[in-house]
Amino acid sequence: MKILKGHGAMMKREEIMLEKIFKKYKLQKSALVPVLQDIQAEYGYLPEDVLRQVARKMKISLIEVFGVATFYKSLSLIPRGRHHIQVCTGTACHVRGAKRVLEEFERDLCTCAGQTTEDQEFSLETVNCVGACALGPMVIVDGGKYHGHMTATKVKPCIRKITRKEAE
């Protein structure tokens, strides 16, 4: 019963949140992208039922919403992990061995680029340039922590650092 109750409360909270987002943009059709961005920021991804609600509320066909959601790279249909790791595979980073760094991340986290680990802790993604080519290969953790000059050997310490910070 307790779980059910919790779930109900959660539903309500989500509904309020959605209402707030819809109210903010006054349900204009042109506001689809900012609405999806806000939902992405709140949930960390775009759940299917929420996208259906968006389509219904904004009077846009579901496929149009889905098309926009799959078009932009910053919008994700699968849940992102608590820590988001971006590995730059742009030209400069690629030349300096970003592929090896990415492979090492994939091996250590047991996931593929664009996926999330099973325990929902990490999500891995490739990006194409972050504007710090001189420091390549670049790895960005949680959108703000820039790790330059990455090598495959630095991957394990990097992950350990994130998890240790979490434990403290």
Contact positions vs other proteins (CB under 8 A): 48, 51, 61-67, 70-71
In the complex with other proteins, which residue's Cβ is closer, 49 or 168? 49
In the complex with other proteins, which residue's Cβ is closer, 65 or 109? 65
Pairing of strands 83-88, 122-127: parallel
- Residue for token pair 């259906």: 52
Residue 46 CB, nearest approach to other proteins (Å): 11
Residue 63 CB, nearest approach to other proteins (Å): 4
In the complex with other proteins, which residue's Cβ is closer, 46 or 124? 46
Strands (E) across the chain are located at 83-88, 122-127, 139-141, 145-147
Encoded amino acid at 64, one letter: E
How far is the CA of 136 from the CAs of 104, 114, 140, in angstroms?
Answer: 16, 20, 11
Residues in the chain, overall count? 168
Q: H-type helices in 77-145, by residue range? A: 91-95, 98-109
Residue 19 CB, nearest approach to other proteins (Å): 23
In the complex with other proteins, which residue's Cβ is closer, 67 or 157? 67
Residue 167 CB, nearest approach to other proteins (Å): 37
8 A C-beta contact, residue 41 and residue 84:
no
- Residue for token pair 């992950």: 159
In the complex with other proteins, which residue's Cβ is closer, 39 or 139? 39
8 A C-beta contact, residue 130 and residue 92:
no
Residue 139 CB, nearest approach to other proteins (Å): 24
